[in-house]
Structure 1
Amino acid sequence: MKRLSAVVNKPGRTLALSALAMALVSSQALAADAFSYDSPYMFGDWGGARTDLEKDGVKFSVNYTMEAASNLAGGANTSTTARYADQQAFGMNLDLEKLLNWNDAEFQATITNRDGQNLSDEVADKRTGMVSSVQEVYGRGQTWRLTQLWLRKGFFDHALDIKAGRLTVGEDFDNFDSKFQNLAFGSGQAGNWRGDHWYNWPVSQWGARVRLNFTPEWFFQVGLYNQNPYNYDRGDGFRFEFSPTEGNLVPVELGWQPKLGAEGLPGNYRLGFYYSSTKDPQYSSYHNGSFSNDDVHSYGGYLLAQQQLTTQGGSVDRGLGVTVQAVMNDHKTSKTDNYQAVALTWKGPFDARPQDEIGFGVARIHINSDYSEMLRTQNNENGIHDFDNPAYLPIQSGAEWNYEVYYDVHVTNWMSLRPNLQYIVAPGAVSEVDDALVGGLTANISF
């Protein structure tokens, strides 16, 4: 089968950028509200065409996210000044009820591209890297991808909801909105610490998700996602083979999304479990350069509890909220066996800035002791015990701690700027590496 990636990557990138440039120029000429504060899009409503298309069931989106980070002090390489990473996303959503009179059905297609460099590679020892990342938009392959290509259909007055196609696991499971720049505070944490099997955005795979909505607040869902080495590899973002199949990921989740009290304070509570049928090595079986048991299946569970606690100025869109997350992975196959995080957000802190937001979070990511012991065994077998020897394997042990505080500036309805400070304790969970203070800046723009 001819690799689509070979056709798409370079010529496709030129075509996509040319098309985007033409669209931006033409939309700027048409839109009377281009660059308006009140418009949700930088280039406005395209002379009303955008609104008309949405009324007919066709919605386009072009979004840009950039994350810059600078090592202000500490870390493995204090000479690093700054690194910059970004993501472009081009999406189209079709409301099939409006277009085809197909009740409760929609189609989504999204293409993404990631570019840039990761400061985390300099903050931590290069032989290990950080456990988390100070730029969450970096990673999963700096390349073009077909991130979404799925069809969703509801049945029985939306009591049953089925989605199938090219999916990302985290768009449905362990999902919530986050403005943190550090990876350890965002959505889909179950996938961040089991990223060899659970693929979050922007990596897609063939799969399906079935959701039962018992009430407007309670739901249960189960998914099945094909595990294929092409899903992740750089340059393979447009390869869709089912073979070679390594196995399947099966997550299940019980969710509760209440509106509490007289003010209707929104909550998002999720309890989940996953199982992967792929074969993994058991870390504790490592001896003499190999694993005596490399046929172990992985599993784990997660908890998400998110609740708005207060309102402000009589608005439920303002106030204090809290998010608590936890992940537990099996001790046989997972490098990170447990994770916990707590974050506080304050939406609309000032009457003069009702759409700004302040956030603070702390996260602990723990390394499996069997993985740590495997590293010690490898060093002993290689006869290398000097940390400064390039062939030495730094012992990742205990936990890496990540802290972040940010202020989100609502510049316009189509743009936000988010300066932040991050503090990383034991980058890479390596005690020999100094703690690091990182300054960051995130920008989100909707065209």
Structure 2
Amino acid sequence: MKKIKDSPFWVISLLSLSCSIQIVHATEAFNPESQWMLGDWNGKRTELQKKGYDFSLGYTGEMATLLDANHHSSHGTEYADQFAIGTHIDLEKVLGWKDTEAQITVTERNGRSLSQTSDALAGHLSSSQEVWGRGQTWRLTDFWIKKQFLDQKLDIKVGRFGEGEDFNSFDCDFQNLALCGSQVGNWVGDQWYNWPVSQWAARVKYSIQPDLYAQIGAYEYNPENLERGKGWNLSTDGSHGAIIPAEVVWQPIVGVSKLPGEYRFGYYYSTADAAEILHPEQTYHKQGAWIVAKQQLTAHNGDKTRGLTGFVNVTVHDSDTNRVGNMQNAGLVYKGAFDTRPKDEIAFGISRISINDDVNDIQTRQQDDEYNAEIYYGVHATNWLTIRPNVQYIRHVGAYKNGENAWVGGIKLQTAF
């Protein structure tokens, strides 16, 4: 993939052109009120949905440029992106299988990451472009079937998918990796594989009451799934064990305004051997825990679709085998701050990634914590296009106490074709 000056700016140009076209004449294909850029295919798309077939094609593009750094004067710019092609099938409508559905998703990633190419960000624990990584290649990301039993209280899902789709799940609107998605997968990534990597898995969920459920899963640990040439690997030949996560999720409606929240409490254990940090000839099993909290705090003039939401993520990992000992992030998101832009949002988040004390002992305690902060403004250009310009600040890159401090500017765009 070439650098930004030669990279897919055609995508940005196409989206900008489409926005200009809709202002002059809102065609069906570029109607800002449509959820799809290409429209409803003369009604065929809605017709297929009613029959149980929901097709999707999404695009995420992320640009990052080094704005300033304490010890490096060279600046760089990189672009990374991802296409996701999917089909969700309602098998009750298609085959008459009650309370049964399936999903197939194929992803393709391209580009380069500033965190990998910039000298100022050498050793960056997080990433300035979360969409980069896990091999820039085509992958079978979802291939699963799900069925509900006992009046929909029991939910069983089997097939190929990643842990973060169901466990330790979180939004991915920020561009910095330490503020996006399942954080366990970011810091235990040698065994816990987030999107777009899939593995054979099973997940069982039981609804205790309407706002409370518990779930447990088992996910194959197969390092071959990370290889660039094995994005469609269905074999279990390289399996070395399983990751077993368990989680309780509470989704209350709070206060007089009945504002939604979500609270996750989870634990994971790996049956696979992992080398002990201080004595690599010995092996242990990885384990850890997490807390995820997200709560809408206010409604904007009584409108619950607008207002302030706060979030906190905490992960803790075993000191025997994991380089990152713990991670915390927190932030605020305000949607609809301006009456003229009711679907726009502004957000700020900050994270702390702490290196395991045993790693510090090996390196004579040169490493400590890395901090990543980001502020973005999300422009809801249409119902199918959101653009989020952002500024990131990384303190102590690589968690080195005397490490680089850097400012990064970025643009994240997401669209649904």
Compute the TM-score of the two structures, normalised by the length of structure 2. 0.91
Q: What does 1:240-255 correspond to in 2, within 5 Å?
A: 240-255=234-249
* Contact 1:97-1:106 at 8 Å conserved across structures: yes
- Per-residue CA deviation, residues 93-143 of structure 1 (Å, 9 max, x unaligned), is 0011111221111010000011101101245667x6211111000111111
Q: What does 1:119-134 correspond to in 2, within 5 Å?
A: 119-123=114-118, 129-134=123-128
1:309 corresponds to which residue?
297
Report the count of equivalent residues. Answer: 392
Q: Which runs of 5+ in 2 are unaligned?
A: 1-25
Q: 1:356 aligns with which of 329, 344, 353?
A: 344
Q: What does 1:337-348 correspond to in 2, within 5 Å?
A: 337-348=325-336
1:292 pairs with 2:281: yes
Q: Which amino acid aligns with 1:111?
A: V
1:105 corresponds to which residue?
100
Structure 1 pair 228–75 and aligned structure 2 pair: CA distance change class (3 A):
farther
Compute the TM-score of the two structures, normalised by the length of structure 1. 0.85
Structure 1 pair 231–242 and aligned structure 2 pair: CA distance change class (3 A):
same
Secondary structure at the aligned position of 1:339 is classed as strand
1:195 pairs with 2:189: yes
1:197 and 1:66 map into 2 onto residues whose CA distance is 27
1:238 corresponds to which residue?
232
Secondary structure at the aligned position of 1:34 is classed as helix
* Contact 2:120-2:406 at 8 Å conserved across structures: no
Structure 1 pair 396–145 and aligned structure 2 pair: CA distance change class (3 A):
farther
- Per-residue CA deviation, residues 193-243 of structure 1 (Å, 9 max, x unaligned), is 111111110010000000011111000000000111211111210111111
1:9 corresponds to which residue?
none
1:90 corresponds to which residue?
85
Q: 1:430 aligns with which of 373, 383, 400?
A: 400
1:443 pairs with 2:403: no
Computed over aligned residues only, the root mean square deviation of the Cα atoms, in angstroms, reads: 1.5
1:398 corresponds to which residue?
368
1:410 pairs with 2:405: no
* Contact 2:120-2:404 at 8 Å conserved across structures: no
Secondary structure at the aligned position of 1:180 is classed as coil
Secondary structure at the aligned position of 1:50 is classed as helix
Q: Which amino acid aligns with 1:129?
A: G
2:70 and 2:132 map into 1 onto residues whose CA distance is 19
Quote how far apart the aligned CAs of 1:76 are: 6.4
2:20 corresponds to which residue?
none
Q: Which amino acid aligns with 1:417?
A: I
- Per-residue CA deviation, residues 374-400 of structure 1 (Å, 9 max, x unaligned), is 345xxxxxxxxxxxxxxxxxx761000
1:118 and 1:77 map into 2 onto residues whose CA distance is 18
- Per-residue CA deviation, residues 167-187 of structure 1 (Å, 9 max, x unaligned), is 111010111323110011112
2:171 and 2:187 map into 1 onto residues whose CA distance is 18
Secondary structure at the aligned position of 2:49 is classed as helix
Identity %: 46
Secondary structure at the aligned position of 1:370 is classed as helix
Name which of structure 1's ranges 56-65 and 95-104 shifts more when overlaid on structure 2. 95-104
Q: 1:159 aligns with which of 142, 153, 163?
A: 153
Q: 2:324 aligns with which of 330, 336, 342?
A: 336
Q: 1:148 aligns with which of 125, 130, 142?
A: 142
* Contact 2:200-2:220 at 8 Å conserved across structures: yes
Structure 1 pair 124–374 and aligned structure 2 pair: CA distance change class (3 A):
farther
1:181 and 1:34 map into 2 onto residues whose CA distance is 28
Structure 1 pair 292–423 and aligned structure 2 pair: CA distance change class (3 A):
same
* Contact 1:76-1:124 at 8 Å conserved across structures: no
Secondary structure at the aligned position of 1:345 is classed as strand
1:104 and 1:71 map into 2 onto residues whose CA distance is 49
2:6 corresponds to which residue?
none
* Contact 2:179-2:349 at 8 Å conserved across structures: yes
1:59 pairs with 2:59: no
2:8 corresponds to which residue?
none
1:320 and 1:406 map into 2 onto residues whose CA distance is 15
2:404 and 2:315 map into 1 onto residues whose CA distance is 26
Q: Which amino acid aligns with 2:251?
A: Q
Structure 1 pair 124–278 and aligned structure 2 pair: CA distance change class (3 A):
farther
Quote how far apart the aligned CAs of 1:356 are: 0.3
* Contact 2:316-2:326 at 8 Å conserved across structures: yes
* Contact 2:69-2:120 at 8 Å conserved across structures: no
Secondary structure at the aligned position of 1:278 is classed as coil
Quote how far apart the aligned CAs of 1:313 are: 2.9
- Per-residue CA deviation, residues 330-372 of structure 1 (Å, 9 max, x unaligned), is 0000000001111100011111000000000110000112113
* Contact 1:220-1:255 at 8 Å conserved across structures: yes
Q: Which amino acid aligns with 1:103?
A: K
* Contact 1:80-1:122 at 8 Å conserved across structures: no
Name which of structure 1's ranges 410-419 and 116-125 shifts more when overlaid on structure 2. 116-125
1:4 corresponds to which residue?
none
2:244 and 2:198 map into 1 onto residues whose CA distance is 15
Quote how far apart the aligned CAs of 1:277 are: 1.1
Structure 1 pair 130–219 and aligned structure 2 pair: CA distance change class (3 A):
same
